[in-house]
Structure 1
Amino acid sequence: MSHGQIMHASSYQELLVSSKQSQDLVKAHEVSTDIPNVKKRAYNVGKQFERDAGVIHGMAKESIKSSASDQLIKTEEREIGDTGLKPYLMYLGQNKGYIYASLVAITNIIFASGQIFQNSWLAANVQNSCVSKLNLVLVYTAIGFGSIIFLLSRALLVVDPGLWTSRPLFAQLLSALFCAPMSFYHSTPLGRILSRVSSDLSIIDLDLPFTVSFSICATLNAYINLSVLCFFTWQILLVAAPVIIMAVKLQV
């Protein structure tokens, strides 16, 4: 049969001897049913596929590497690790921050001194017959109210400069955003900009001033209490000095 038409009609042996087309058909059938040859072809096809896949994968990697530096949305840069005192010094450098920090330290020293004097007055005169109980309580209460005034002043000195310090920073940020080129907005997501304007400025308004104040007050209170203890029992220095040195070393 050729092209859908019967060319010869005979037995298989006669067709195999007389017809070249029958011979070609039988040879093609033998080649296609040769199992080792089929496996070899399949193996070659698989190897070729692996080579093509490797080439495509390599091209994809090169494309990713080349486009990483030219990508539209840039990766956000963030400071990592220990930044030291630089951010706090920059914060205090805004709007007379050092003056307010000094006033916070002074009011905290006065408040701590008032507490010490209050307790000392009570301990020294609680068994003094020359001081009546009314005078003892009145003086103790007066010292307490005076300490509260300085405590309130310390809180106001923390909140007020925090507000006034964040204003120039906010103005600088808005000026930078308004003067930024259009490429900045193309390469920076809007959510990232809103996060910087909202959450970061909230940290500057609230967290940063109270963190600075807490650091100053906690340090002063620790040294004041240690000084009082050393005044009455100097032997405590034998224990306190190594502990302070160890604490400083661990923090550094």
Structure 2
Amino acid sequence: MLDLGLEGRTVLVTGATGAIGRAAARAFAEQGARVALAFRYQREAAEALAAELSGPDGGRAFAMPYALDDAASPRWVVAAVEEHWGGLDVLVAAARRRGARRDPHTRFEDVPEEHWRPLVADGFVPAVRTVQWAVAGMRKRGWGRIALVAPAQAPDGAADGEFHAVARAGLHGLVRGLAGDVGGDGVLINAVCPGPTSPDRPPTPPDRPSTPPDRPPTPPDRPPATPEDIARALLFLCSAANGTITGEALTLAGCR
């Protein structure tokens, strides 16, 4: 059996109450890792998951709030893990906002900067902040794994979704560029890009399009990937078994 080398490792999962984040947290816990669950709104769900994953000694998981729009939040959650367990080995950044688009009734050239700047920043800046704080300790300890969850269609663009595409392409650029900088310090960073996932997605709000601008519709003859499929990819990329894969974007879209 492949030894993933995750026993006793410390893992921070942002977006831990989402379908992918929850599946990832369970997958790491099953391998003996200690898991910190960062959530935005669903405190009860996060604390219930932490209780589920804590194990007999009650100390293998805990939950804490994390806000994408709070500049101090990434620093706080990373510091909390490092203080609680003495260091952070793995970051799974699964918290993200979906479907940021400009007003479809406004031409691209007429969108004022104060409108498009948040569309870019909201999809890119929180991940940069979290990676910055996480990677510092990893470099000092000489080992670390980082995985960003990003849309499969990030570089391609879509109608009314230009600024969203810029942000997601920026995530891919971050992964590609940072990989060369931190690889010599034992830190690997990759992106995992899911297509539509099933079955655990909440209903689409009535004021948002049913298909986000970066996501094609699912062909009826090919099933979408499940959150557990995505979690298994995250598990390998963030394990000791992965010694060379870095700077890559792995697309897992069962519908494509």
Q: Larger strand proportion, structure 1 or 2?
A: 2
Larger radius of gyration: 1
Normalised TM-score (structure 1): 0.29
Normalised TM-score (structure 2): 0.29
